Amino acid sequence: MVEIKWTDFALNDLDEIGNYIALDSLKYGAITVSELFYSTQILKSSPFVGRVVPEIGKEEFRELIKGNYRIVYKIISENRIDVLTVHHSKRLLHNHLFFE
């Protein structure tokens, strides 16, 4: 089974998303963050379920779509996946973040 590692950057994204939604509803902020976080569990058994990130075009950079959000991850090895960012689909994805 694959280990899913959330980067600090991705966890910060979740915090920002939750805080923004919580301005209108604490309940839905918490629900949204929880749904985004747990939606990556499918990657443990199916790491290639997400599509290749179009802006990057490399097989190891993939994304899950959950509502209005793109959960971008990188397949590091057959045993590890790193979640890189959780990104609102209306915002531009800055791919330089993934090559540092």
Domains and CATH numbers, the chain: 3-98 (3.30.2310.20)
Output the six-digit token pair for 24: 């209108």
The string of pLDDT tens digits covering residues 50-84 is: 999 988 889 999 999 999 999 999 999 999 999 99
Instruction: Convert 67-97 to b/e letters by CB count within 10 Å (16 or more is b).
Output: eebbbbbbbeeeeebbbbbbbeeeeebeeee
**Entry pTM:** 0.90
Query: Of 22-26, 44-48, 62-66, 90-94, where does mean pLDDT reach its minimum?
Result: 90-94
Strands in 1-100 per DSSP E: 3-6, 51-52, 61-66, 69-77, 80-88
1: pLDDT confidence band, cut at 50, 70 and 90? Answer: confident
Evaluate whether 77 touches 1 at the Cβ level (below 8 Å): no
